[in-house]
Amino acid sequence: MAKGKKRISIHDLAAELGFSVSTISRALNNAIDVSDATKAQVWALAEKLNYQPNNLAASLRSGRSNMLGVIVPHINGAFFPAVVHGIEKLASKAGFNVMICQSSEEVDREKKHINALLKAQVDGVLVSMSNTTLDFAHFEQVRRKGIPLVFFDRMPELPNVCGVVLDDYLGAYQVTKHLIEQGCRRIAHLAGPQHLNITFNRHQGYHDALLAHGLPYDAALVVPLANSRENGGVAAMRHLLESNIQLDAVFSAYDFAAAGALQVMMESGIQVPKTMALAGFSNEPFTTMVRPRLTSVDQRGELMGEAAVQLFLQLLKRTDTFTGQRIVLKPMLMVRDSSLHGQLAQTAKNQQ
């Protein structure tokens, strides 16, 4: 009977039962070639002695850590938490543990996390880039080691990278088209950073929808956001109003910035959506709490997380991890009061 504080290992179990360590190992792993009687004995003793397997040793030996590294820019708002949830759901089903890291939108932290994950011998890395990531050498490092690398949402425009993205272009196109159909003709866009695929595509969708409907693209109507938060939207909207440009709608690349814009509109006595329509992007929960409720685009966060894991699992089977596969998810336009420029607001009641 093992006494003292020493943590017990399969050797202790082996000694106690008179089996070899390999039999113990096999029994604990429920291998096919161990008799049920033996398994029962081993499991009983393991339970009794409170045996705790050591993954470090198993991983070191087997070369598989069953750990999945995930790097997200942040976990504020609803989107990235939803993605993470989707990732964890599918990953744990596939027997993987997930290590979540936040880059806090800093490329240096992103690099550090990549390094830490590699040192920890993760079996794969899922990344959504920080918005300060301009070179991609640290990602190459992962690929060079033959470790599956999957991007989600924010991915670099490089050949042969795998990833799952939302069709941001389509989402923005649909929002803009919707605003046009509501009778809006002077639609402003609060734009995110153009070096990121997501916000670049949102801008493109806006641009193309205008042209497709015979409206001019006016650069004066496009205001870059200093940040994606409320105060970014406040500043951009103030700038827009101060410029005295004609305006009957605003499409913000982010919901939080849209909330800031809404605040400025309210303070300026502008009626939303009657005088000015408004739409955001992300379908944050607060969009149904503010008045008027905010029209937005759902980003399918959970689905994206699941798709990313699926892609990873696929890559794991292959020898070449540079297949350049992409999964593109369809966005969902959520029409709410804030964009019903040309209709009675009641119409949206059922769609909230």
Partner DNA sequence: GTGAAAGCGCTAACAA
Partner DNA sequence: TTGTTAGCGCTTTCAC
- Positions touching its own copies (CB under 8 A) are 5, 7, 50, 52-57, 59-60, 65, 67, 74-76, 78, 81, 84-85, 88, 92, 97-102, 104, 112, 116, 118-121, 141, 144-146, 230, 256, 259, 262-263, 266, 285-286, 288-291
- Spatial CA neighbour of 67 closest among 82, 56, 79: 56
CB of 7 to its own copies, least distance (A): 7
Beta strand 162-166 with 124-127 is: unpaired
Q: Using the rule CB under 7 A, give the single segment among 2-10, 208-216, 242-250, 272-280 that binds DNA.
A: 2-10
Q: Using the rule CB under 7 A, give the single segment among 34-42, 164-172, 258-266, 291-299 that binds DNA.
A: 34-42
- Select the binding partner of residue 20 from its own copies, DNA, none (C-beta < 5 to 8 A, by kind): DNA
Task: Tell me how many helices (H) and strands (E) the chain has.
Answer: 12, 12
The residue with tokens 């976990």 is 75
The residue with tokens 């590699």 is 118
- Select the binding partner of residue 88 from DNA, its own copies, none (C-beta < 5 to 8 A, by kind): its own copies
Q: Which is nearer to DNA, 55 or 160 (CB)?
A: 55
For residues 280 and 295, the answer to whether their CB atoms sit within 8 Å is yes
For residues 12 and 5, the answer to whether their CB atoms sit within 8 Å is no
Q: Quick check: bond before 148 cis, omega within 30?
A: no
Q: Which is nearer to its own copies, 48 or 291 (CB)?
A: 291
Judged by DSSP in three states, 40 sits in helix
Near DNA in 35-74, by CB under 7 A: 35, 37-38, 53-54, 57-58, 60-62
- Select the binding partner of residue 330 from DNA, its own copies, none (C-beta < 5 to 8 A, by kind): none
Confirm or reject binding of residue 7 to DNA (CB under 7 A).
Answer: yes
For residues 281 and 78, the answer to whether their CB atoms sit within 8 Å is no
Structure tokens of 58? 């198993």
Q: Using the rule CB under 7 A, give the single segment among 12-20, 152-160, 186-194, 236-244 that binds DNA.
A: 12-20
- Output the CA–CA distances (angstroms, integers) from residue 257 to 150, 226, 236, 238, 253, in the order listed: 29, 10, 9, 12, 8
Binding site for DNA (CB under 7 A): 7, 9-11, 18-23, 25-26, 28-29, 32-35, 37-38, 53-54, 57-58, 60-62
